[in-house]
Structure 1
Amino acid sequence: MNQHTDRWDDTVLPFQLDRADIRGRVARMDETLEKILSQHDYPAPVAALVAEAVLLTGLIGQTIDLRWKLSLQIRGDGPIRLIATDYFGPTKEGRPARLRAYAGFDENRLAEGEGQTPFEMVGKGMFAILIDQGQGTTPYQGITPLAGGSLASCAETYFAQSEQLATQFALAMGVAAEPGGEEQWRAGGVMLQHMPKASPFAKKEATGEEGLLAASDMLDGDDEENWVRATTLLETVEETELIGPHVSPDQLLLRLFHEETPRVYEAQPVEFGCTCGPEKVIQSMSIYSAKDIGHMTNDDGRVTADCQFCGAHYEFDPKTLGFEAEK
């Protein structure tokens, strides 16, 4: 992969369209996404949904403060039951943010979804964003029903319904390879969001699916005109521009929005990262009695735990776990 491409791999680039009062981000996920998906042997529909969720999480998470955590959870009653992602804000300025993800699915039911899109295989359920600001704070949680034909549509509905912010995404993801190179997952996307007003509120009746608010319900007058112009330009983006190696994010912004004079900020690097560890398993087990721990002990006399995100395996002496643990 050439040096020009490497510069933008696994980054989220914030930008602003001052003329239209719109902010946005451009994301490229390459090694990060490949590492997340290589932890598991997901069937193709599951892997595609995880890739979309990771890309959305990187685009949305870039705005949180240092050391905060933003999570996406998608739960449904279909063969694909759960998609969960975490974005950990950098520990300090200049450090990468970390991303991880996993999926829960019923392999026996996946055949039921033949002919359906991966999103349709989630079924009816909910889309949630959670923000954890750290110890001593109450996590924020916003939930909307699954609506539209993709996770990106769900995220747009979430921002309209929960935040009253007009938002639009253009995403692309898939397995690709440069000539002579190995195939690996690549993803890229652009997020546009109208700048929040002092007192945001919907100015029209809800026009979205199932009576939910849509982006267009947030705006009128010049704001609506500017939003329509910017989103119409965004809809001209091509998949090869989002994930291909030949167009950098800043070049893409100039191609799409040159008349809006985009203002670009410093890119945020991202990487795969999991925060699991033996101490967290011990802490999670601290609510159980010795009798409870006994029921979790295997035939070898050990208590085991596996991280759903990264696959790490932990083993413990049962006497060291629970609130009756030997010190």
Structure 2
Amino acid sequence: MKNSDTFQRFLFEDMGIRGELVRLDASWQAVLQRHTYPPNVSRQLGQALVAVTLLSGTIKFKGALIIQVQSRGPLHTLVVQATHRQTIRGLAHWHDPVPAGALSEVFGEGRLVLTIQNEGAEPYQGVVALEGQCLSAALENYFANSEQLATRLWLFADGQRAAGLFLQVLPAQAHADDDWTRLVTLADTVTEHEMLHLPFEDLLYRLYHEEKVRLFEAEPVVFRCSCSRQRIEDMLLALGKADVEAIIAEKGLVEVDCDFCNKRYQFDRVDIGALFSEEIKSTPSSTRH
């Protein structure tokens, strides 16, 4: 299918307004294959993955953008990540049953956290209340309150694909309010079927054939988990030798599962002994000569 696993920017010439399109196919299926999600959970997760991919295209960074929802309702944890290389991953935790409906019904009382992890810099974090009819509304509230940028998102997901459309006023560029209102009104007519199935060129023509639109080169999006044995070893070292050896004494080995990709890492007594032995060797001596 054309535009499968694709991120693509576009620009309204002479308006100071930009847009983005995303469609996830194999990358979305890779997430679904690792956990069995109820439909009402997978729909929210798919929309969140589209959102984090769209938003990652609005900032210049080298690292990762994370959207996290923490709440007290049926769907109590939702975490999605996109990197500057357009790799994505995500997961959700829930208590059955998860209803369909507004955010207050699906998530309950909660908050939405956006984190930018820029390599070589302290993470930047923005927090907004989880309010609105849908996830796109909560994200739009974030931009209105934190960034003071007019922003709209349209997010869709089913069991096969996830897709989305993004519009935003460019920072520090002049635009007419009538232009913004017209573009948003036209985007509000987009249907789920069009977003999930129409080629991007056809979709933009359907919505904006009377506008001057520049469509930029498409970029591929892939599922990729950043977990590794080295990262798990670092986590165990941070946990400390006494606690890790207590786990070994009780269970005979240490098992760590990655929630994102379901990969299991196992460490037996020999592995743990070698791990902490290497730590001792690599610790510089404090003795002065």
TM-score norm. by structure 2 comes to 0.89
Please state whether the residue corresponding to 2:9 is helix, strand or coil. strand
CA distance in 2, matches of 1:44, 1:243: 17
Contact 1:124-1:146 within 8 A present in 2 as well = yes
Task: Tell me which amino acid in the other structure corresponds to 1:227.
Answer: W
The alpha carbon displacement at 1:297 in A equals 2.7
The corresponding residue for 1:22 is 17
Residue matched to 1:195: 170
Mapped contact 2:103–2:133 kept (Cα < 8 A): no
SS for the counterpart of 1:26 is: strand
Cα deviation 1:170-198 (Å, max 9, x = unaligned) = 222213xxxxxxxxx21221100011117
1:166 aligned to 2:150?
A: yes
* Pairwise CA distance, 1:241: 1.0
Correspondence 1:1-327 to 2 at 5 A: 5=1, 7-65=2-60, 67-90=62-85, 97-106=86-95, 110-111=96-97, 113-114=98-99, 116=101, 120-134=105-119, 136-175=120-159, 185-197=160-172, 223-244=176-197, 247-297=198-248, 299-318=250-269, 320-321=271-272, 325-327=276-278
Contact 2:103–2:131, Cα closer than 8 Å, also in 1:
no
For 2:208 and 2:249, the matched residues in 1 are separated by 60
User: In structure 2, what residue type is equivalent to 1:79?
Assistant: P
Deviations 1:83-115 (A, max 9, x none): 00111222xxxxxx2100001222xxx23x556
Give CA deviations for 1:100-147 in whole Å, capped at 9, x if unaligned.
Answer: 0001222xxx23x5564576221111111111111x310111110011
Instruction: Look up the SS of the partner of 1:85 in the other structure.
Output: strand
CA distance in 1, matches of 2:181, 2:195: 21
Cα deviation digits, residues 27-77 of structure 1 (max 9, x gap): 111111111111101122111111111111111112344642111101111
What residue in structure 1 maps to residue 286 of structure 2?
Answer: none
CA distance in 1, matches of 2:63, 2:108: 31
Residues 312 and 119 of structure 1: CA distance in aligned 2, closer, same or farther (over 3 Å): farther
Q: Secondary structure at the match of 2:158?
A: strand
| SS of structure 2 residue aligned to 1:325 | helix
In structure 2, distance between residues paired with 1:167 and 1:264: 19
8 A Cα contact 1:287 1:322, kept in partner: no
Q: CA 1:162–1:118 in structure 2 vs 1: closer, same or farther (change >3 Å)?
A: closer
Counterpart of 1:187 in structure 2: which amino acid? A
Q: State the AA in 2 paired with 1:28.
A: R
Instruction: Give the letter for the 2:126 counterpart.
Output: G
Task: Name the CA shift for 1:189/1:89 in 2 (closer, same or farther; >3 Å).
Answer: same
Question: Structure 2: where are the runs of 5+ without partners?
Answer: 279-289
Deviation at 1:323, TM superposition (A): 11
Q: How far did residue 324 of structure 1 move? A: 8.1
Percent identity of equivalent pairs: 31
The count of corresponding residues between Structure 1 and Structure 2 is: 278
1:208 aligns with: none
**Superposed displacement of residue 267, structure 1:** 1.1
* Cα distance, 1:262–1:84 mapped onto 2, change above 3 Å: same
AA at the equivalent of 1:138? E
8 Å contact from structure 1 (residues 12, 268) kept in 2: yes
Residue 259 of structure 1 aligns to a residue in which SS?
A: coil
Q: Taking structure 1 as reference, are residues 66 and 43 closer, same or farther at Cα in structure 2, changes over 3 Å only? A: same
Q: TM-score, normalised by structure 1?
A: 0.79
